[in-house]
């Protein structure tokens, strides 16, 4: 830390570092870095670019520009001018007027006017992960700006970039770990599919052979065997439909919990004979861990209702409760005795659902009776 950095600056940097390291998704980390840098250095505009291998940017986030302005600006910038200098040479840039940079080539028509500029590479050893850059230093004594970035600003930004590299690397490792977990889960489902459908098809073949042998001599029994063929074929089809749904990638990060649950309910309603409905009421965004837990519990409950309970209708409701959310999945299936299930050691996923609820500070309630369906409720307090 620069000896000229005031105590308030140290606390601000500490808060920014903590904020970056609380995020696990790469996009969230990038946005937090940009917002923190802009606030710490008092800039009007801030941006961060992660380069790709084709002269452009794989990711590019901004702060200080409205959505309408960003849309009007047009395509993402290419790696040229001062951006290229930071990314390719790995050196910081501090300019009193970015427009005077040797290779400056102008901006799109809707681009805001920028003058004083500071940029810093974000590097992990020799690898440049990206670059953060800020423009138009805002000074209280000069309301119109133009006071320029200082050496103290550069020192502060360098510290932030060092921590940003750690946070970004951790986020990438987290996403890679999640991808590997998903790949392992898909492999498990594929194995289950192979076993379940292979058994159904084997039984189907034997039953069809028996029916063929009985057609001439015992037509009554042949008809019964053919009915069994149809039933086995339907079961095999159900297994295939269910596993296709399970293999669909969850769009939680991109679409949010409500849209993801609605999509999955619509898909299940199409591929199963049971009717599956979804309803959401005043649901606000939740921390990522809570949304994922709610999604997994809903998926487990739907799986049980459709594949084990023989439900004719399943209803999924997501309802806002203050800062939190209540999830409710009810079905009209055969139901069960929760106490007897626990005693017999057959949990139907109840243990994993309770663990997911407990893990995010929520609670899970299960109501069921033989012949009277099942209701599963999970409530989380929110952030």
pLDDT in tens, the chain (383 residues): 444 444 445 677 777 777 776 766 788 888 889 999 999 999 999 999 888 877 888 888 899 988 888 888 888 778 888 888 888 888 899 999 988 888 787 788 888 899 999 999 998 888 888 999 999 998 866 555 557 899 999 999 998 898 888 888 888 787 777 666 656 656 665 666 566 666 666 666 666 666 666 666 677 776 676 767 666 666 666 666 555 555 444 566 666 788 888 888 887 887 777 899 999 888 888 888 888 889 989 988 988 888 778 889 999 999 988 888 999 999 998 888 877 655 444 455 777 788 888 888 899 999 988 888 999 999 998 76
Number of domains comprising the chain? 2
The kind and range of the H/E element at 168 are helix 151-214
Does 14 reside within a domain? yes
Last residue of a domain, one of 144, 175, 206: 175
Nearest to 79 by CA among 106, 98, 51: 51
Query: Which residue, 141, 175, 209, sits at the end of a domain?
Result: 175
Are both 160 and 29 inside the same structural domain? yes
Q: Is residue 212 part of a domain?
A: no
Task: Return the CATH number at 11.
Answer: 3.30.450.40
pLDDT of residue 339: 72
- Name 62's Cβ contacts closer than 8 Å, sequence gap at least 6: 34, 45, 46, 47, 70
Confidence (pLDDT) at 345: 41
β pairing state of 313-321 and 275-281: parallel
Report the alpha-carbon distance of residue 314 to residue 207 in Å, rounded.
33
pTM of the model: 0.50
* Element of type H or E holding 343: helix 338-344
Domain that holds residue 363: 251-383
Q: Which of 117, 142, 175 is the last residue of a domain?
A: 175
């Amino acid at each position: 830390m620069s000896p000229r950095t005031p105590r308030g600056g140290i606390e601000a940097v500490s808060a920014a570092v903590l904020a970056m390291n609380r995020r696990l998704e790469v996009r969230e980390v990038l946005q937090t870095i940009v917002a923190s840098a802009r606030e710490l250095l008092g800039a009007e505009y801030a941006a961060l670019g992660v380069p790709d291998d084709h002269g452009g940017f794989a990711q590019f986030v901004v702060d200080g520009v409205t959505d309408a302005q960003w849309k009007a600006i047009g395509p993402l910038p290419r790696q040229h001018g001062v951006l290229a200098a930071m990314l390719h040479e790995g050196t910081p840039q501090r300019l009193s007027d970015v427009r005077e940079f040797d290779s400056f080539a102008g901006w799109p028509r809707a681009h805001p006017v920028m003058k004083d500029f500071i940029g810093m590479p974000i590097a992990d050893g020799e690898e440049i992960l990206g670059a953060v850059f800020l423009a138009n230093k805002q000074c209280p004594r000069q309301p119109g700006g133009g006071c320029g970035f200082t050496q103290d600003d550069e020192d502060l930004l360098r510290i932030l970039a060092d921590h940003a590299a750690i946070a970004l690397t951790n986020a990438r490792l987290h996403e890679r770990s999640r991808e590997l977990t998903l790949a392992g889960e898909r492999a498990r489902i594929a194995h289950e599919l192979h076993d379940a459908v292979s058994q159904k098809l084997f039984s189907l073949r034997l039953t069809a052979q028996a029916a063929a042998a009985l057609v001439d001599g015992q037509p009554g029994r042949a008809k019964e065997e053919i009915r069994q063929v149809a039933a086995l074929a339907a079961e095999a089809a159900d297994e295939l439909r269910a596993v296709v749904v399970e293999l669909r990638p969850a769009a939680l990060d991109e679409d949010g919990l409500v849209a993801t649950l609605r999509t999955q309910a619509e898909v299940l309603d199409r591929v199963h004979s049971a009717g599956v409905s979804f309803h959401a009421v005043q649901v606000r965004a939740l921390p990522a861990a809570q949304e994922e837990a709610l999604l997994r519990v809903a998926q487990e409950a739907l799986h049980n209702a459709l594949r084990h309970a023989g439900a004719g209708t399943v209803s999924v409701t997501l309802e806002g409760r203050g800062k939190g959310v209540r999830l409710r999945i009810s079905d009209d299936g055969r139901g069960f005795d929760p106490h007897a299930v626990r005693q017999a050691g057959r949990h139907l996923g109840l243990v994993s659902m309770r663990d997911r609820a407990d893990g995010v500070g929520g609670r899970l309630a299960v109501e069921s009776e033989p012949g009277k369906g099942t209701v599963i409720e999970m409530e989380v307090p929110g952030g």
